[in-house]
Structure 1
Amino acid sequence: MCDLIKKSGFDYGFDPKACERCAGKCCIGDSGYIWIDESEIVNLSKFLKISPDAFKDRYLDKFGLRYSIKELKFKDGYACCFFDQKALNCSIYDYRPKQCMTFPFWDYFKHNFKELERECIGVKR
């Protein structure tokens, strides 16, 4: 039996052990925004041993005042530029943005559970 992570306001739980056999489905698919804030940019640039400005130039797209991690073509869709396409997992897992850390507990999925089930094998009602 697995220990599901639960979050108040969500009618489903998440088994983090499912990530080991998933192949990164939450990191690939349709194009979207992978929002990252200034503190996350600083932490990730330190991890990568480059300046925040170099990090922004190399890995981010700017939309108004916000930054999103760049995506690359992958199979029939897109993948986060930090998705390891050989290992099929996140290459910056311990430094990933809050948006990634909070998946699958996004308000959007409160009303779109069937879509979430297609994307994440670890969610259970």
Structure 2
Amino acid sequence: MQSLIKKEGFTFAFDQNACASCNGACCRGESGYIWVSKEEIEKIADFLEISSDEFITNYLKKEGYRYSIKEIKVQQEYICIFFDEKSGCTIYPVRPKQCRDFPFWDRYKNGKNLKEVCKECIGIVL
């Protein structure tokens, strides 16, 4: 049985059960930014049982006035520092909004960039 999520303004649905078999396609690939807000920094640091300063120093990179979660380059791809091959996202309960919202990002609204999101996410249902 599919567990489909639909959102207004999007021409596709998302089957969240597909996440179990995709090996973190949305957590790896080309380098990019995984933006975190001040509130998210505090929540993730609390979850990891470290200070916000320690979290910023060890797990984030500053881009302009914002922070992004670091990535690790493995062969030809970049992987979120919190993605584990065996267990998936190690901060899943407190993952950033950007991660929680995927694949329902504005760049995919109203059918825009549909080929791109379908290539990246096997859970897309047209």
Shared fold (TM-score greater than 0.5)?
Answer: yes
Cα deviation per residue 1:84-124 (whole Å; 9 max; x = unaligned)?
Answer: 03x16111111100000000001112311111111100011
Identity of aligned residues (%): 53
Paired amino acid for 1:17:
N
Within 5 A, what are the aligned runs for 1:98-109? 98-109=97-108
Aligned residues of 1:109 and 1:116 also touching (Cα < 8 A): yes
Paired amino acid for 1:91:
T
Within 5 A, what are the aligned runs for 1:30-69? 30-69=30-69
* Structural RMSD (CA): 1.1
Aligned residues of 1:23 and 1:88 also touching (Cα < 8 A): no
- 1:19 and 1:3 map into 2 onto residues whose CA distance is 11
Equivalent in the alignment of 2:10 = 10
Cα deviation per residue 1:10-31 (whole Å; 9 max; x = unaligned)?
Answer: 0100000000111000000000
TM-superposed deviation, 1:74: 2.1
- 1:8 and 1:66 map into 2 onto residues whose CA distance is 29
What stretches of structure 2 of length at least 5 have no aligned partner? none
Paired amino acid for 2:101:
T
- 1:21 and 1:42 map into 2 onto residues whose CA distance is 31
Secondary structure of the corresponding residue to residue 73 of structure 1: strand
Equivalent residue pairs, number? 124
